[in-house]
């Protein structure tokens, strides 16, 4: 698992605004790093610096050992990049566009032809190959952008919102494609869809106001959720206070909250003491009390809750 992307102290100022403020991290082969953050957090700016489009105010990025500032051509050869919005020349056809990209990347002849047709198959573009790009749907344009990025089989893939604007089936296809490519490559993708992080990323990084606020596996992030490992129990309504008191008596239970009633059923959320696994005890308690259980489950934690906690502006205490 060699390091393929090595970023140190990346910083970008636009006038007096600091868009990216000292971001450092590394990505190794086989890793899929998800960049999360609210709009304007600096995700795209960071990607634009890694790919050599913007010159950083400070710090640098090394791609497979090549510094993007000192050896830009060598570094860029190893990157496949899908910019935000998947731009392409509107009056070209996908076939001509991909050929152009291939030629720019130094491919030619039979090799170029094979790469183009192979990539077109991977992203399912066969049906629109000879239509002007401006007439294509958003989904096709996005897939063309992806095709352009993976055409030369790069070691590093940088994808800015790869599934934005796709329908659920297309999203699934693109995620599958990313997962199949992942083992040989280092992939960085930005998204604000949290399920995407759970679906494809081996590692997630939340960026807010130009700084990395957290970096870990998606499971680590879930662990930061206040509802991580809590038990949700839904039972037929009865004496709610007695039930709550009964649940609170279980060993290892820290707190019991009533989450609401809908007609016949009442839902409780049971918070365990740190590190305790209490679902079996809760189940047993319900059986002993002969409650009619409709649902009993352990919650993994809500990523969006973690996301909000880390990135939302702090509200004044009331």
Partner 1 sequence: MGRIKVILKRELAGYFATPIAAVFIVIFLLLSGAFTFYLGNFFVRGQADLIPFFDFHPWLYLVLIPALAMRLWAEERKEGTIEMLLTLPVTMWEVVVGKFLAAWVFTGIALALTFPMWITVNMLGNPDNGVIVASYLGSLLMAGGFLAIGSCMSALTKNQVIAFILSVVVGLAFVLSGFPMILNLFSGWTPHFILNAVSSFSFLTHFHSISKGVLDLRDIFFFVSLIAFWLFATATIIDMKKAE
Q: Which residues bind partner 1 (CB under 8 A)?
A: 14, 48, 51-55, 72-74, 76-77, 79, 81, 83-85, 87-92, 96, 100-101, 103-106, 148
Q: In whole angstroms, give the CA distance from residue 68 to residue 300.
A: 40
Query: For the chain, how are helix, strand and coil distributed in percent, rounded to 5?
Result: 35, 30, 35
Q: How many CB atoms lie within 10 A of CB 2?
A: 10
Closest to partner 1 by CB, 92 vs 181, is 92
Q: Which helix (DSSP H) or strand (DSSP E) does residue 33 occupy?
A: strand 32-36
Region for residue 165 given its phi and psi (left: phi exceeds 0; alpha: psi -120 to 50; beta: otherwise): left
Nearest C-alpha neighbor of 204 from the set 220, 226, 193: 220
Name the minimum Å distance from CB 118 to partner 1.
Answer: 20
Name the minimum Å distance from CB 132 to partner 1.
Answer: 8
Print the SS3 string covering 249-318: CCCCEEEEEEEEEECCEEEEEEEECCCCCCHHHHHHHHHHCCCCEEEEEECCCCHHHHHHHHHCCCCCCC
DSSP 3-state of 221: helix
Closest to partner 1 by CB, 53 vs 277, is 53
Name the minimum Å distance from CB 175 to partner 1.
Answer: 22
Closest to partner 1 by CB, 103 vs 111, is 103
Name the minimum Å distance from CB 311 to partner 1.
Answer: 23
Closest to partner 1 by CB, 71 vs 302, is 71
Q: In whole angstroms, give the CA distance from residue 155 to residue 183.
A: 10
Closest to partner 1 by CB, 31 vs 160, is 160
Name the minimum Å distance from CB 91 to partner 1.
Answer: 5
Name the minimum Å distance from CB 52 to partner 1.
Answer: 6
Name the minimum Å distance from CB 97 to partner 1.
Answer: 9
Closest to partner 1 by CB, 110 vs 239, is 110
Q: In whole angstroms, give the CA distance from residue 117 to residue 178.
A: 18
Helices and strands in the chain: count of H runs, count of E runs: 11, 14
Name the minimum Å distance from CB 77 to partner 1.
Answer: 5
CB contact at 8 A, 32 and 178: yes
Q: How many CB atoms lie within 10 A of CB 168?
A: 8
Closest to partner 1 by CB, 27 vs 101, is 101
DSSP 3-state of 5: strand
Closest to partner 1 by CB, 115 vs 203, is 115
């Amino acid at each position: 698992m060699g390091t393929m992307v090595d970023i140190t102290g990346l910083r970008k100022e636009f006038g007096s605004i600091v868009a990216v403020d000292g971001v450092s991290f590394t990505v190794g082969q086989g890793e899929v790093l998800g960049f999360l953050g609210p709009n304007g957090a600096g995700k795209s700016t960071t990607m634009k610096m890694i790919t050599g489009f913007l010159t950083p105010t400070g710090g640098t990025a090394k791609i497979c050992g090549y510094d993007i500032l000192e050896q830009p051509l060598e570094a860029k050869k190893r990157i496949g990049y899908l910019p935000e919005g998947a731009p392409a020349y509107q009056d070209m056809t996908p076939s001509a566009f991909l050929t152009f990209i291939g030629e720019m990347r130094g491919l030619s002849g039979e090799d170029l032809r094979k790469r183009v047709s192979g990539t077109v198959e991977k992203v399912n573009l066969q049906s629109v190959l000879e239509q002007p790009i401006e007439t294509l749907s958003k989904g096709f344009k996005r897939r063309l952008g992806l095709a352009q990025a993976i055409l030369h089989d790069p070691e590093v893939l940088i994808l800015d919102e790869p599934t934005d604007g796709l329908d659920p089936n297309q999203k699934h296809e693109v995620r599958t494609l990313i997962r199949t490519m992942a083992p040989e490559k280092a992939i960085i993708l930005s998204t604000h869809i949290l399920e995407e992080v759970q679906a494809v990323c081996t590692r997630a990084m939340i960026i807010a106001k130009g700084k990395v606020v957290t970096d870990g596996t998606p499971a680590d992030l879930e662990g930061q959720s206040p509802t991580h490992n809590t038990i949700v129990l839904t039972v037929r309504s009865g004496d709610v206070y007695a039930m709550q008191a009964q649940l609170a008596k279980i060993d290892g239970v820290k707190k019991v909250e009533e989450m609401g009633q809908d007609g016949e059923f009442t839902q409780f959320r049971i918070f365990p003491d740190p590190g305790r696994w209490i679902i079996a005890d809760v189940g047993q308690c319900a059986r002993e009390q002969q409650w009619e259980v409709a649902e009993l489950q352990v919650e993994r934690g809500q990523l969006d809750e973690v996301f909000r906690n880390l990135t939302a502006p702090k509200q004044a205490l009331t």
